[in-house]
């Protein structure tokens, strides 16, 4: 019961040792920017986080600090540094710009860790920069190199005057400033960040303050934004597709109208050519008919007879022909068979008297 009560309060009582967690926290609150693109993630319990800020709140003249107690978990290809507790560094030698851990400091710290934590391990340190901002001085780097040089040990810097804070961790052998970190607690505990606890915001403003149901609200808000963006993208793509289809349809209709107009012009031209050809054929037929009729008229005209050629003067009429009017037969000429003398012409044989019979 005492252990559960301590967990509900976010910390531990004097007679209860804190056991190091072996799993990743589920109830978390992001402070600063997401560090999903880095190899390491830092989680600090709400109990330790609030204890640090209560400790540093009035440390505005000289530097002060302490130890971070926790463990490291390798999961999902990342190193997850879990900070579960904070131990004040007593018996230090401090100035406004430096902090020195003495032998008494280390003795006190180790005794407190053994008393308060099960399998507790130092995973880093915390110190203040009163009104100097967040950075690691050369002296701070010296302390980190000589006392916190393990790959999973971090440095937490707090400026209690400017209300700024930030973590530094080892990345590829160098100390790098972490963009953000996570405050966590048990699933049945509400995460509350006091107004004095500030993330490393350039303007010294709190990045986030927890309230009941805030993680759920944030999750729903993010989901709503994502859905809205997805719908907007789908609508935009659909609108562009419709515009393209309408443009293609207009182009097809225009092409079809142009083709129809061209076909109609060609049909009109063909009709004109056909009419002209028919006219030419009719004219040619008429010309042929006129030519045929003219040729037949020259040979024989209907209702006329061909007259016989008349003999010339002094010529005897041919067989079967009558002498011309007024033409006379010459002496010694006889009418041809079947020929009749013309009117007024006397037959020489008729006019000559018959010879007298010879006297006997």
Using a cut of 0.85, tell me whether the model's pTM lies above it. no
Which residue, 74, 69, 75, 80, is CA-closest to 42? 80
CA distance between the termini of the chain: 215
Across the chain, mean pLDDT equals 79
Question: 2-211 adopts what CATH topology?
Answer: Cytidine Deaminase; domain 2 (3.40.140)
Greater confidence, 6 or 129?
Answer: 129
The three-point CA angle 51-54-57 to 5° equals 145
Pair of tokens at residue 305: 């007879």
Q: Per-residue pLDDT tens for 95-154?
A: 999 999 999 999 999 999 999 999 889 999 999 999 999 999 999 999 999 999 999 999
Rounded Cα gap, residues 214 and 219, in angstroms? 8
Q: Would you say 125 and 156 are in contact if contact means Cβ atoms under 8 Å apart?
A: yes
Rounded Cα gap, residues 292 and 296, in angstroms? 6
State the pLDDT at residue 266: 87
Please state whether beta strands 117-118 and 18-19 pair in parallel, antiparallel, or not at all (unpaired): parallel
| Mean pLDDT, range 246-259, rounded to an integer | 88
Q: Per-residue pLDDT tens for 20-73?
A: 878 899 999 999 888 666 789 999 999 999 999 999 999 999 999 999 999 999
Q: Would you say 182 and 46 are in contact if contact means Cβ atoms under 8 Å apart?
A: no
Q: Per-residue pLDDT tens for 268-290?
A: 888 888 888 888 898 898 888 88
Domain ranges (residues) in the chain: 2-211, 213-269
| Mean pLDDT, range 80-87, rounded to an integer | 96
Which residue, 136, 206, 125, is CA-closest to 176? 136
Pair of tokens at residue 48: 């330790």
Rounded Cα gap, residues 117 and 109, in angstroms? 12
């Amino acid at each position: 019961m005492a252990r559960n009560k301590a967990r509900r309060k976010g910390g531990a009582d004097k007679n209860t040792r804190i056991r190091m967690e072996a799993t990743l926290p589920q109830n978390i609150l992001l402070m600063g920017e997401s560090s999903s693109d880095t190899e390491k993630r830092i989680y600090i319990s709400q109990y330790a986080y609030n204890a640090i800020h209560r400790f540093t709140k009035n440390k505005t003249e000289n530097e002060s600090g302490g130890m971070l107690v926790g463990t490291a978990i390798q999961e999902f290809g990342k190193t997850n540094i879990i900070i579960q507790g904070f131990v004040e560094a007593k018996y230090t030698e401090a100035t406004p710009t430096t902090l020195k851990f003495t032998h008494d400091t280390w003795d006190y710290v180790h005794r407190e860790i053994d008393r308060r934590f099960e399998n507790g391990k130092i995973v880093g340190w915390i110190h203040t920069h009163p009104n100097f901002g967040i950075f690691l001085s050369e002296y701070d780097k010296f302390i980190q190199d000589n006392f916190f040089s393990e790959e999973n040990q971090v440095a937490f810097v707090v400026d209690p005057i400017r209300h700024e804070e930030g973590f530094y961790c080892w990345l590829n052998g160098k100390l790098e400033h972490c963009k953000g970190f996570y405050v966590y607690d048990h699933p049945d505990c509400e995460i509350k960040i006091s107004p004095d606890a500030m993330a490393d915001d350039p303007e010294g403003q709190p990045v986030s303050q927890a309230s009941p149901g805030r993680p759920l609200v944030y999750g729903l808000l993010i989901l709503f934004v994502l859905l809205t963006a997805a719908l907007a993208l789908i609508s935009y793509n659909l609108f562009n597709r419709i515009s393209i289809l309408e443009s293609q349809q207009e182009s097809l209709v225009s092409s079809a109208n142009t083709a129809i107009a061209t076909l109609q012009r060609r049909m009109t031209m063909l009709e004109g050519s056909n009419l002209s050809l028919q006219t030419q054929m009719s004219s040619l037929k008429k010309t042929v008919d006129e030519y045929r009729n003219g040729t037949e008229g020259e040979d024989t005209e209907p209702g006329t007879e061909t007259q016989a050629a008349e003999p010339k003067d002094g010529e005897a009429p041919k067989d079967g022909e009558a002498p011309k009017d007024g033409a006379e037969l010459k002496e010694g000429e006889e009418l041809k068979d079947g020929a009749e003398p013309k009117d007024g012409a006397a037959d020489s044989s008729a006019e000559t008297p018959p010879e007298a019979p010879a006297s006997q």
